């Protein structure tokens, strides 16, 4: 089992003080783990471990491919520690996020749109990262999708949860790299084998063997399979489309005054349904980051209406027997702690095994 980070270390700077989440009561036996910026936790842990192991030398450049909040966590950590940082992203990177990254001293390198017409976005970013590293005398790549220190970093969150609430019955997590869901879930499962781990994905993502397609809901799902994602930990999986996640995000804000991003809204929507469906179960849901990046979109009624994303939330998911049946609506499947290959290779509905 990965080593937990100590919980009681004093905060030494403002960044340090933003690592751990708040635990918030959302209803009877339902709690939220509300992070300021969840990806700061693995960023800090990965960099710290790399320094301890001698993989990140003084003055070396940290370089990573990301267009999301892991890059922001790295930018904060590298700024505090004094390491140069290069982030390779793609043209869909949020403009406000890019401005903040550069204000923290990161160099942001964007793959041109012309390249993406003929090449997969992830592969294009990796190749650009490789070219940049070839020109550096020394560098370190955190590799959030492959690095086991990513899920290991969440041991401290499991410890905080256990000290605050004791054992829980279900953990509902949005899934991107799989670091938080597999990290928190594996620590809790070691103490409580019956813990139910519920993953929240979005249509178009291939993480759980659903058909690949466009993903208007950024920050949730992926077009690649991260090595840190252990599918065998999950009991059930939900796919929530963007419009439903946005409606749930606004509901979370209206009902609990929690100003969070749409991945948090997606997880909240699933957790509400799960709690209603399992009365008496103690349910914890993970909220990865705050909603400042979405003030002009998710929290803007005119923007939602213009993009035909202003819709009331659907209260019940459609249950399917195979991920190939996932379409645009809210969908769930009983994953039953199987590998991705086991689920993908099982017979779809109406097809003999």
The confidence score (pLDDT) of residue 112 equals: 82
Alpha helices in the chain (DSSP H): 40-52, 69-81, 95-103, 113-116, 121-134, 149-152, 155-165, 179-191, 242-256, 262-277, 301-306, 340-345
Q: Are 184 and 135 contained in the same domain? A: no
Output the pLDDT for position 348: 64
pLDDT computed for residue 352 by the predictor: 39
pLDDT in tens, 91-131: 888 888 899 999 999 999 988 877 666 556 777 888 889 89
Give me the domain span that covers residue 30. Answer: 16-38+149-345
Question: What distance in Å separates the CA atoms of residue 223 and residue 136, rounded to the nearest whole number?
Answer: 29
Long-range (24+ apart) CB contacts under 8 A made by 82-85 are 83/47, 83/56, 83/59, 84/59, 85/61
**131 and 93 fall within a common domain:** yes
How high is the pLDDT of residue 8? 43
Assign 68 to helix, strand or coil: coil
Report pLDDT for 5.
43
Specify whether the CB–CB gap between 201 and 175 falls below 8 A.
yes
**Number of domains within the chain:** 2
Write out the DSSP string of 129-147.
Answer: HHHHHHTSSSEE---TTT-
Is 84 in the same domain as 67? yes
- Residues of the chain with confidence (pLDDT) below 70: 1-17, 115-120, 347-353
Express each pLDDT in 276-287 by its tens digit.
Answer: 999 999 999 999
At 291 the pLDDT is: 92
Are residues 309 and 241 located together in one domain of the fold? yes
- Give the pLDDT of residue 161: 94
Q: Of 117, 140, 163, which one is at a domain's C-terminal end?
A: 140
pLDDT at residue number 143:
94
Same domain, 118 and 86: yes
Q: Indicate if the alpha-carbon torsion angle 215, 216, 221, 222 is positive or negative.
A: positive
Q: What is the DSSP string of 262-298?
A: HHHHHHHHHHHHHHHHSTT--EEEEE-BBSGGGTTTT
In a domain, 8, yes or no: no
**Residue-level pLDDT at 3:** 42
Q: Give a yes or no: residue 10 inside a domain.
A: no
**Cα 63 to Cα 124: distance, rounded to the nearest angstrom:** 15
pLDDT at residue 279, as a whole number: 95
Whole-number pLDDT of residue 116: 62
**pTM, 2 dp:** 0.90
Residues 153 and 300 in one domain: yes
pLDDT of residue 38: 95
Among the candidates 140, 159, 175, a domain finishes at: 140
């Amino acid at each position: 089992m990965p080593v937990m980070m100590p919980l009681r270390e004093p905060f030494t700077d403002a960044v340090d003080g933003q690592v751990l989440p708040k635990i918030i009561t959302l209803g009877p036996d339902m709690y939220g783990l509300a992070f300021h910026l969840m990806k700061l936790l693995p960023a800090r842990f990965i960099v710290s471990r790399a320094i301890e192991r001698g993989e990140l030398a003084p003055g070396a450049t940290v370089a990573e491919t990301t267009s999301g909040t892991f890059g922001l966590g790295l930018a904060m950590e590298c700024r505090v520690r004094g390491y140069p940082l290069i982030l390779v992203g793609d043209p869909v990177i949020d403009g406000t996020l890019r401005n903040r990254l550069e204000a923290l001293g990161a160099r942001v390198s964007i793959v041109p749109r012309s390249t993406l017409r003929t090449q997969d976005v992830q592969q294009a970013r990796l190749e650009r990262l490789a070219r940049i590293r070839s020109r550096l005398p020394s560098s370190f790549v955190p590799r959030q999708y492959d690095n086991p220190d990513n899920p290991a970093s969440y041991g401290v969150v499991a410890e905080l949860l256990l000290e605050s609430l004791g054992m829980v019955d279900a953990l509902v997590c949005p899934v991107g790299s799989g670091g938080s869901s597999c990290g928190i879930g594996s620590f809790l499962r070691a103490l409580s084998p019956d813990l139910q781990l519920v993953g929240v994905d979005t249509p178009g993502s291939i993480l759980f063997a659903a058909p690949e397609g466009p993903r208007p809901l950024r920050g949730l799902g992926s077009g690649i399979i991260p090595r840190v994602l252990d599918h065998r930990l999950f009991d059930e999986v939900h796919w929530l489309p963007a419009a439903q996640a946005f409606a749930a995000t606004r509901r979370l804000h209206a009902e609990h005054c929690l100003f969070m991003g749409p991945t948090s809204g997606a997880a909240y929507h699933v957790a509400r349904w799960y709690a209603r469906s399992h009365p008496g179960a103690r349910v914890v849901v993970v909220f990865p980051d705050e909603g400042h990046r979405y003030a002009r979109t998710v929290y803007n009624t005119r923007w939602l209406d213009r993009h035909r994303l202003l819709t009331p939330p659907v209260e019940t998911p459609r249950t399917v027997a195979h991920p190939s049946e996932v379409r645009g609506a809210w969908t769930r499947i009983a994953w039953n702690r199987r590998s991705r290959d086991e689920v993908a290779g099982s017979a779809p509905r109406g097809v003999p095994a």
